[in-house]
């Protein structure tokens, strides 16, 4: 048999389990690869299929919002009780590779300082508690970033369903401003006069008192005159408000995309937004390699930089726009969580961390937590965000006045009180302020 005849015979050899089927050539198999991927996705659960089964809502986002809010309150309570950073100090620069950014100034920390942060895996000079703290640090940094990714995902879904500009704008105003206005007013006109170290006339005559109302429109002020001066975290009234300007920027950019009709189900527009966000990420990655100190995505050792939160919002937007191509699988979730943690631990390739964190956010949002949903049938997350920190500071201030400034406060004593009071005020905010405000949508809502 000649060689060409032998090649022809081999090309038609039947494969096991596929009797009589011709074996495709290598170029043909390569050409069919996109179809193979599409076929695999059609069999795999995607974000779009889960959303379709749940009326366009991610079944796990309710749990995630509340859990993130409560964890942030608990973390802030821990810091507020112990004091800002609890006497810790920076022992290495943020742009240096290695895990710890700050640790307590004790003998173990002094030893770490001498190490110069050469490697994230050199734990021999650290105490066990410090090692645990650093291993958990990526989770702490992730909290607010997950909120922004979640927001980008949900806001985009709402805009795709109803792209009307007026509806989008008023929805955002009604969701944010009424509850925020009440919280700011209560802090300024109730908590301030009751707990300030100044006389009422002095308090009301201070410029800072009037400036505090700028929080309602995103002009953030953290202090009120004479308030919380002797707390372990002094003067801070509501640290949570630092995210407000960045959240407003997210909505401005989303509004601009709606204005040019780019947020839609049209594949061409989805591709353009995906490319635009990808280009922005590439630019940030290049800038980070050129100047890692200036373009570090971490503001400090506990949170992402404000401008990177805007990236997180748009990562969430891109994931929602491409939901039908987004497989939801525990293995991808585990790999993404590991990649995110490794990036944070090793302090390398930080701009890429948000992609993995966003997938983790969406994956959790696509899971069902029916028991939790029965416990939290009301949306208390925004109220928890607004009231958690002021209640923490007020509780600490009152305990110090009653027990004396020399009494050492205990987190185990303060945290349960803070959680109960915060949930109570959040329920008040939802039922009395937020829910009635959202009902106003029926007067202007244009059908999708």
Instruction: State pLDDT tens for residues 61-98.
Output: 999 999 999 999 999 999 999 886 544 443 434 444 33
The answer, yes or no, to whether residue 34 has pLDDT greater than 90, is no
Spell out a b/e string for 369-379, using b for 16 or more CB atoms within 10 Å of the CB, else e: beeeeeebeeb
Residue 22, domain member (yes or no): no
Residue 326, domain member (yes or no): yes
Q: What is the mean pLDDT of residues 196-204?
A: 96
Round to whole Å and give the CA distance between 146 and 162.
Answer: 24
Residue 343, domain member (yes or no): yes
The answer, yes or no, to whether residue 282 has pLDDT greater than 80, is yes
Radius of gyration of the chain (CA): 26
End-to-end CA distance of the chain: 69
Residue 278, domain member (yes or no): yes
Query: What was the pLDDT predicted at 104?
Result: 38
Where residue 107 falls among pLDDT bands split at 50, 70, 90? Answer: very low
For residue range 110-143, what is the model confidence (pLDDT) as tens digits?
A: 433 333 333 444 445 556 666 777 778 889 999 9
Query: What was the pLDDT predicted at 108?
Result: 38
Round to whole Å and give the CA distance between 101 and 94.
Answer: 6
Query: What was the pLDDT predicted at 249?
Result: 95
Cβ count near 68 (within 10 Å): 22
Residue 250, domain member (yes or no): yes
pTM of the model: 0.82
Contact between residue 58 and residue 365 where contact means Cβ atoms under 8 Å apart: yes
**Number of independent structural domains in the chain:** 1
Residue 311, domain member (yes or no): yes
Contact between residue 353 and residue 189 where contact means Cβ atoms under 8 Å apart: no
Residue 178, domain member (yes or no): yes
Domain around 214: 48-85+134-443
Residue 411, domain member (yes or no): yes
For residue range 331-377, what is the model confidence (pLDDT) as tens digits?
A: 999 999 999 999 998 888 999 999 999 999 999 999 999 999 888 88
Q: What is the mean pLDDT of residues 216-235?
A: 92
């Amino acid at each position: 048999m000649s060689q060409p005849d032998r090649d022809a015979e081999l090309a038609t050899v039947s494969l096991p389990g596929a009797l009589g089927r011709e074996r495709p050539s290598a170029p043909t198999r390569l050409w069919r690869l996109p179809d193979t991927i599409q076929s695999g996705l059609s069999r795999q659960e995607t974000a779009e299929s889960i959303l379709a089964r749940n009326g366009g809502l991610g079944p796990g986002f309710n749990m995630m919002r509340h859990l993130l809010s409560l964890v942030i309150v608990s973390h802030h309570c821990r810091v507020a009780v112990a004091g800002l950073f609890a006497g810790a100090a920076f022992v290495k620069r943020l742009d240096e590779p290695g895990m710890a950014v700050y640790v307590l100034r004790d003998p173990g920390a002094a030893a770490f300082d001498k190490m110069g942060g050469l490697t994230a895996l050199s734990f021999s000079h650290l105490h066990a508690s410090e090692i645990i703290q650093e291993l958990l640090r990526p989770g702490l940094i992730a909290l607010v970033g997950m909120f922004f990714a979640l927001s980008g995902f949900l806001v985009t879904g709402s805009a795709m369903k109803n792209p009307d500009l007026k509806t989008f704008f008023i929805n955002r105003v009604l969701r944010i401003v009424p509850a925020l206005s009440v919280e700011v007013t209560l802090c300024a006109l109730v908590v301030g006069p009751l707990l300030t170290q100044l006389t009422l006339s002095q308090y009301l005559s201070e410029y800072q008192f009037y400036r505090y109302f700028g929080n309602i429109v995103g002009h953030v002020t953290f202090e009120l005159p004479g308030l919380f001066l002797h707390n372990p975290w002094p003067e801070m009234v509501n640290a949570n408000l630092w995210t407000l300007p960045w959240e407003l920027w997210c909505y401005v950019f989303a509004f601009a995309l709606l204005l040019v009709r780019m947020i839609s189900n049209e594949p061409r527009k989805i591709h353009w937004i995906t490319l635009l966000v990808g280009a922005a990420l590439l630019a940030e990655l290049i800038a980070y390699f050129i100047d890692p100190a200036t373009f570090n995505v971490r503001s400090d050792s506990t949170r992402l930089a404000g401008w990177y939160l805007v990236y997180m919002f748009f990562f969430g937007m891109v994931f929602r726009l491409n939901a039908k191509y987004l497989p939801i699988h525990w293995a991808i979730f585990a790999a993404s969580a590991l990649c995110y943690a490794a990036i944070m631990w090793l302090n390398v390739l930080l701009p890429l961390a948000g992609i993995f964190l966003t997938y983790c956010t969406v994956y959790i949002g696509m899971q069902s937590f029916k028991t939790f949903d029965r416990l939290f049938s009301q949306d208390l997350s925004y109220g928890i965000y607004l009231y958690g920190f002021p209640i923490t500071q007020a509780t600490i201030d009152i305990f110090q006045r009653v027990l004396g400034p020399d009494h050492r406060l205990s987190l185990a004593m303060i945290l349960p009180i803070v959680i109960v009071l915060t949930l109570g005020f959040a329920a008040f905010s939802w039922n009395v302020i937020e829910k009635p405000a959202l009902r106003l949508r029926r007067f202007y809502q244009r059908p999708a």
